[in-house]
Structure 1
Amino acid sequence: MNDSLHSQDKHPLYDLLLLTFFCFLGGMVFSFLGVLIFSIFFNEQSLLDVISGGQLYQNIYFLRCVQIFSSIGIFIFGPVLFTVSKKYPFTNYYQFYKPTNPILIILSITVLFAALPLIEWLTAWNNKMVLPESLKGIEIWMRQKEDEAMTLTKQLLIMKSYTDFAINLLMIAIIPAIGEELLFRGGIQQIFGKWFGNPHIAIWLAAIIFSAIHVQFYGFIPRMFLGALFGYLLFWGKSLWYPIIGHFINNGSAVIMAFIYQQNGKGIEEIEKTDNFPAYGYLFSALFTLVLLYNFYQKSRNRV
C-alpha cells in the first residue's frame, strides 16, 4: 500500500490522528461555509427566521446546503490537507495514478448489483437485533438514533423536481462516493495496512469504522459488508476508482429509485418496502457475488 511513500514516517497512529484532525477541521470550516452560503442565497433574514422559529433542522434547503458543504470538508478537504501536510503526491497516495480497466469497471458495477439481495438480507437480519435486558437503555438509545437518521433520510429524499434530484444525486451519491472512499479506503485503510502489515485486517478495520461513523446501529452489518467490498476492490484493483464507482452505484441507485417512486405518485415509505426473495435467492446472490469478486481478483492479477 504505497510503502515507498512511508519510508521515513512516524508511527501510523500519528497519521491516523493527523488525518482525523484535518477531517474535523474541514468539517467545521465547511459547515460554517454551508450556513454562510445558505444565508446568501436565501438571504440572512431567512436564516434568522429558520433559527428563531426552531425549524433549523426542518428546512430542507438548509439541511442540503450544510450536508453538502460539511461532507466536502470532512471527506475531501480533510484527506487533501493530509497529503499536503505530509508532502505526499495526492494522486499516488490515494491510488488514482493507475489506469482503470473497462472489464474491472464492469465487474465493479455488476458486483454491487449482484450483492443487493444479500445486502437486503443482512439489513433485515441486523434490524432484528435485540440486546440483553441489562442493556435495554442502550438499545432504546440505539433505536432513537436509528429513527432520527431515518427521519432525516426521508426529509432529504423528498424530490419534487429535477433540480432536487440533481442536488440529491450530488449530495448522496457523488460526494460520498468520492469523499468517503478517499477517507476510508484511500486514507484509513492504507494507514491500517502500514500499521498491521496485513491488508485484510486493514480492510475490515476500515469497514468497521466506515459503518460505525454513520451511527446507524441497525444497518451496521450491511454497511460494514459494503465497506469491506469496497476495500477489496481497491486492494485487488490497485485504483481508488473501482470502489468510487461501486459506492456511486450503491448510493445513486437508491436516489434514482426514490425519484422514480415519487414521480409515479408513491410516498417515501414505499421505498422502504423491499422485495422478499426466497431463501435460494439470497443464497444465489451471495454465491454470484463471490464468483464475480473472484473474477475481479483474477482479472486484476492478470494486469500486474
Structure 2
Amino acid sequence: MGRVIKLVIYYFLYNFVFMGVVFGVYGFINHSADMPQSGPVYFNLSMWVQLLATLAVGIHLLAWKYVTRKDLRLDFPHTAKVLLVSVVLIVGMGCWTNYLTELTELPDVMEDLFAQAMNNPLGIISIVILAPIVEELLIRGGMQGHLLRQWKNPMWAIAVPALVFGAIHGNPAQSFFAFILGLVFGWVYYRTGSLLPCMLMHFINNGTSVLLFHLSGGEDETMTEALGTTGAISLALVGVALTVWSIWYIKTRLIPNQIAWKETPAPAEEVIASESKEQA
C-alpha cells in the first residue's frame, strides 16, 4: 500500500504545485496579487493547471520507471481481436452503467464544471486524450501492477486501485461509475498484462461522453428521457449481454492462460528496493 499512497500524494501534489505556478504567472503578468475566483479567466487557468499537472504525472511515472515497457507493448495473444473485443466491452458497459448511475440518483456536483470543460479545447484534450493515458499509467500501471506482484490475492490488487480511481474523480455520480470501470479495466490489465486495451477503452468512454454531450446540444439528457423507460432498460440489457460476452470471450477464447504476474519484470524502482533489502 505504500506505493499506492505515495502515488496518490504525487497526483495531488502536482496539481497543487501547478496551481501555484499557473496562477502565480498570471499574477506576475498582470502585476496583481488579486487572483480571479470565478468566471472565464479562472476556468481557463484551471484548465491549464489540470493539463500541465496531468502531463507532469505521466512524465514522472515514465521517467522514474513506475511502469515497465512491457506494460505498453502489444505482445499478448491475438492482439487485434483483444483490442476489438475491448471496444465491444466498453460500449456494452456504457449502456448499462449509465442507466445504473441514473437509478442511483447520486449527486452530480461537477455537472456545470464538466459542461464548461467539454466546451473548452483544453478541457477536451485533457478529458479525451491525457486522462485515458495518464490515469491508466498511474492507476493500473503504477499502482495495480505493483500490487499484483506483491499481493497473493489478485482481486484485492484490482479492487484497491479501482477504489482510488473512483475517489480521485471527487464526484459521487462519477466516482461510482469510475469504480465499476476501474474493476473492468483492472481485470483486462490483469488478463493481458498490457495497458493499451485499458487506454483504448478509457479513450472511447471519455470520447463518447464528449461526443454525446455535443450531439445533444449540451443538454444533460438521461437515457430514460432520450429513449423512454422501455428503451433505456432494453439498451441496458443489451449492454449487460455485450459485457458478459466480451469478458467470457477474452477469458476463454483469446487469453485462456493467465499470465504469471509474479514472474513479470518489475520496474527498476522495485528491483533496487528488493536488492537493498537482500543486502541489508
Q: Distance in 2 between matches of 1:211 and 1:89?
A: 21
Tell whether the 8 Å contact from 2:91 to 2:239 is kept in structure 1 after alignment.
no
Q: Distance in 1 between matches of 2:142 and 2:73?
A: 15
Tell me what 2:220 maps to: 271
Residue deviations 1:64-90 (CA, integer Å, cap 9, x gap) = 21111122234x13423542xxxx674
Residue deviations 1:212-254 (CA, integer Å, cap 9, x gap) = 1212123333221111111111111221101000000000111
Q: Distance in 2 between matches of 1:294 and 1:31?
A: 44
1:104 to 77, 82, 94: 82
Aligned residues with identical type, % of pairs: 20
Q: Distance in 1 between matches of 2:29 and 2:46?
A: 16
Q: Secondary structure at the match of 1:272?
A: coil
Tell me what 1:254 maps to: 209
Tell whether the 8 Å contact from 2:61 to 2:67 is kept in structure 1 after alignment.
no
- Structure 1 unaligned segments of length 5 or more: list them: 1-12, 129-142
Tell whether the 8 Å contact from 1:57 to 1:63 is kept in structure 2 after alignment.
no
Q: Secondary structure at the match of 2:111?
A: helix
Q: Distance in 2 between matches of 1:223 and 1:89?
A: 22
Instruction: Evaluate the alpha carbon distance shift between residue 56 and residue 157 of structure 1 in structure 2; reply closer, same or farther with a 3 A threshold.
Output: same
2:48 to 65, 86, 105: 65
Residue type matched to 1:115 in 2? M
1:202 to 138, 141, 157: 157
Q: Distance in 2 between matches of 1:30 and 1:238?
A: 32
Q: Distance in 1 between matches of 2:5 and 2:93?
A: 33
Residue deviations 1:141-174 (CA, integer Å, cap 9, x gap) = xx5xx42x22211221225xxxx3xx33321011
Kindly report which structure 2 residues correspond to 1:41-52, keeping only aligned pairs within 5 A, or say none.
44-45=29-30, 48=32, 51-52=34-35
2:26 to 39, 50, 54: 39
Q: Distance in 2 between matches of 1:59 and 1:272?
A: 27
Residue deviations 1:253-295 (CA, integer Å, cap 9, x gap) = 112233344xxxx3x2x13333343434322311221101211
Q: Secondary structure at the match of 1:207?
A: helix
TM-score scaled to structure 2, two decimals? 0.77
Residue type matched to 1:108 in 2? S
Residue type matched to 2:29 in 1? E
Tell me what 1:283 maps to: 237
TM-score scaled to structure 1, two decimals? 0.71
Shift of 1:126: 2.4
Residue type matched to 1:279 in 2? I
Residue type matched to 1:124 in 2? E
Q: Distance in 1 between matches of 2:32 and 2:45?
A: 12
Tell me what 1:299 maps to: 254
Tell whether the 8 Å contact from 1:207 to 1:225 is kept in structure 2 after alignment.
yes
Kindly report which structure 2 residues correspond to 1:58-97, keeping only aligned pairs within 5 A, or say none.
59-74=42-57, 76-80=58-62, 82-83=64-65, 90-92=68-70, 95-97=71-73
Shift of 1:205: 1.7
Query: Is 1:192 aligned to residue 147 of structure 2?
Result: yes
Q: Distance in 1 between matches of 2:222 and 2:95?
A: 13
Tell me what 1:134 maps to: none
User: Quick one: higher RCO (CA 8 Å, sep 6+), 1 or 2?
Assistant: 2
Instruction: Evaluate the alpha carbon distance shift between residue 65 and residue 300 of structure 1 in structure 2; reply closer, same or farther with a 3 A threshold.
Output: same
Q: Distance in 1 between matches of 2:11 and 2:74?
A: 26
Tell whether the 8 Å contact from 1:24 to 1:78 is kept in structure 2 after alignment.
no
Q: Distance in 1 between matches of 2:81 and 2:32?
A: 52
Instruction: Evaluate the alpha carbon distance shift between residue 14 and residue 281 of structure 1 in structure 2; reply closer, same or farther with a 3 A threshold.
Output: closer
* RMSD over aligned Cα atoms: 2.9
Residue deviations 1:13-34 (CA, integer Å, cap 9, x gap) = 3333443344344334444444
Kindly report which structure 2 residues correspond to 1:140-159, keeping only aligned pairs within 5 A, or say none.
143=107, 146-147=108-109, 149-159=110-120
Q: Distance in 1 between matches of 2:37 and 2:15?
A: 23
Shift of 1:303: 9.9
